[in-house]
Chains A and B, each alone.
Chain A
């Protein structure tokens, strides 16, 4: 279907290209330039000065936040993947097609509810006089300080990424060749061993991509660490919002943002390589 460039074709192709160049690529490229600009008397001055990079990279609090963010996002991705897998597995292999369709439909709903409202709801559950502590009180336990902990941040991260991870895992599981699993059973391969030796390797690409998306979402989220984690320990996303909103130090915020993008690119590269390892035959 190769045809010369025509007015007709360009009418459909160009608008999106122009829009994404103007408002997606250029802003990100501008971020690179901005990171070398300086702020004097609350005004941005164009230039080429590495002072922002030197300042930010020289601050222990930056590296602390970097380590925290990386560790928490990785932990959240691992935890979400591990907890989502039995759910996706059960939906894929144990439910009727009709129940499956309902399960998918219900898992899509959270994408269209406000994440902020859900986070606020978790505050209601987790606060000192909140639902969970009241219930524990009935059993004579607590109250426990559940809010403003790393655990609460994890709950928020899972609120953000659990539905997506379940859906992505599910889509990779339903495409597994069922005869492989039957073959394993016929050869007296145990139930758990079948899961780990047949199902997970067959669905590896999807599972890794799901974990990667969870990592990306949690790495960039500032709502859960602030409103469930209490802002302590600080994450890079909190650092960006603080630096941009109150400090007016956009160039320094740009340094943080670029460091995050670089980290995410490395993570995505490693994940994709791991996902397809040994597959390119």
Chain B
């Protein structure tokens, strides 16, 4: 066995593979790190060697009223999308957990499929449909469209948590005389609370970064990512980096919060 293991482990190949992993992560993080570095760099056309340290782009962004408006839109929309998606996602996750019914496959497809449809197609379909029912061109239309693609994420996160729950817990509560509603309130919701909050943060983060559908349907109520798209189309400037860094920090805060909740630091998860 020992000999086999030695045969199996060629240190050269091992080192090569690890080097490859590092290179792969470098490829993934190069644009993210570069955006961070250049957001503090003075040059109008970023490249190396670096210019001097400067907060010019942050100031330029902070003094742009359109950016503030975009930020307000993004935050408001993100919050509404997070709450709505989590409520809908919870319902769907619970439905999948508890019920068997005819057409459940279709129900699950509806619940999970939307993120796989290309965003340009969703954007066009939403724009055409919502303008038909007089709902396009405002913040509401972005909320509606974002909930469609975010609810599946919420459902997946909450469903995962429900599958960790002992199925007899619910019936035990019923046997003890609790109604279905009381069981939901005192057993199921407390058990899934970390996942509910996790889903809330993750769906908000997804909404914060979504630009394509928002670009199609938002009209004049542009969100921050749509603003970035506008910068890309017109005057490319390091302001993109400043906004990008800000959005990154916001999203990561949400994701790390979600991660902490989901990895079970909460009191309800000691059971595992």
Contacts and interface: CB of A to CB of B under 8 A. Distances in A.
B129 A131 contact: no
B157 to A, nearest CB: 13
Scoring B49, B124, B126, B155 by chain A CB atoms within 10 A of each residue's CB, the highest score goes to B124
Contacts of A253: 124
Nearest to B227: A116
Contact of B128 (A27, A103, A182, A241): A27
A124 B34 contact: yes
B34 A27 contact: no
Interface in B41-98: 45-49, 87-92, 94-95, 98
Q: Does more than half of chain A's interface fall in helix, strand or loop, or is it mixed?
A: helix
Interface string A97-119: 00000010111111011111111
B31 A8 contact: no
B228 A114 contact: yes
Contacts of B47: 124, 127, 129-131, 134
A187 B91 CA distance: 52
Scoring A83, A120, A159, A254 by chain B CB atoms within 10 A of each residue's CB, the highest score goes to A120
Contacts of A27: 122, 125-126, 128-130
A112 B128 contact: no
Contact of B120 (A26, A83, A162, A222): A222
Contacts of B87: 15
A95 B17 CA distance: 10
A215 to B, nearest CB: 11
B271 interface: no
Nearest to A84: B24
A244 interface: yes
A192 to B, nearest CB: 10
Interface string A58-87: 000000000000000000000000011011
A134 to B, nearest CB: 5
Interface residues of A, number: 90
Interface in A39-71: none
B252 A260 contact: no
Given A107-B28, A110-B32, A90 B21 contact: yes
Interface stretch (A16-24, A198-206, A270-278): A16-24
B129 A113 contact: no
Contacts of B90: 12
Interface in A123-177: 123-125, 127, 129-131, 134-135, 158-159, 162-163, 166
Given A20-B110, A27-B129, A114 B21 contact: no
A281 interface: no
Contact of A244 (B30, B98, B216, B243): B216
Scoring B94, B120, B252 by chain A CB atoms within 10 A of each residue's CB, the highest score goes to B120
A222 B32 contact: no
A120 B148 contact: no
Given A87-B24, A89-B17, A112-B255, A121 B31 contact: yes
Contacts of A108: 255
B251 A112 contact: yes
B121 A261 contact: yes
Interface string A1-37: 1110010110111111101110111111011001000
Given A2-B100, A13-B92, A103-B21, A19 B121 contact: no
7 contacts: A12-B95, A19-B88, A27-B130, A31-B124, A113-B244, A130-B47, A217-B118
Given A257-B124, A264-B118, 4 more contacts: A30-B129, A118-B31, A237-B118, A240-B121
